[in-house]
């Protein structure tokens, strides 16, 4: 998490995507599914995208997902890239 600006919707979305489910005290359901680690990328990508979309929709009501994609990084991790817009609540 950042030292400042954690209340911004964009930062909240990134925080959701950067933690593993079970890591956040009092919000144990928040974060990406840790069971997806160490599985083949072809199998993980669609599951991670669906999980990320569900997590954003559940925990960050101030944004709407326009699109979501994932790319494999040089160190063979999956980076999820959501395109979002802020909505009024």
pTM of the model: 0.89
Q: How far apart are CA 14 and CA 11, in angstroms?
A: 5
Q: Phi and psi for 27 in degrees, rounded to 5?
A: -135, 60
Q: In the structure, what pLDDT confidence band is assigned to residue 3 with cuts at 50, 70 and 90?
A: low
pLDDT digits (tens, 9 = 90+) for 30-89: 999 999 988 999 999 999 999 999 999 999 999 999 999 999 999 989 999 999 999 977
pLDDT value at residue 20: 95
Beta strands in 1-89 (DSSP E): 63-72, 78-86
- Say whether pLDDT at 1 is over 70: no
């Amino acid at each position: 998490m950042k030292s400042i600006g954690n209340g911004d919707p964009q930062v909240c979305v990134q925080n959701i995507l950067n933690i593993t489910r079970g890591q956040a005290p009092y919000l144990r359901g928040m974060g990406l599914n840790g069971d997806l680690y160490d599985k083949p990328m072809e199998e993980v990508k669609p599951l991670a995208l669906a999980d990320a979309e569900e997590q954003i929709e559940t925990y960050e009501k101030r944004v709407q997902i326009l699109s979501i994609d994932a790319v494999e990084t040089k160190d063979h991790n999956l980076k999820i890239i959501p395109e979002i817009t802020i909505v009024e609540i």
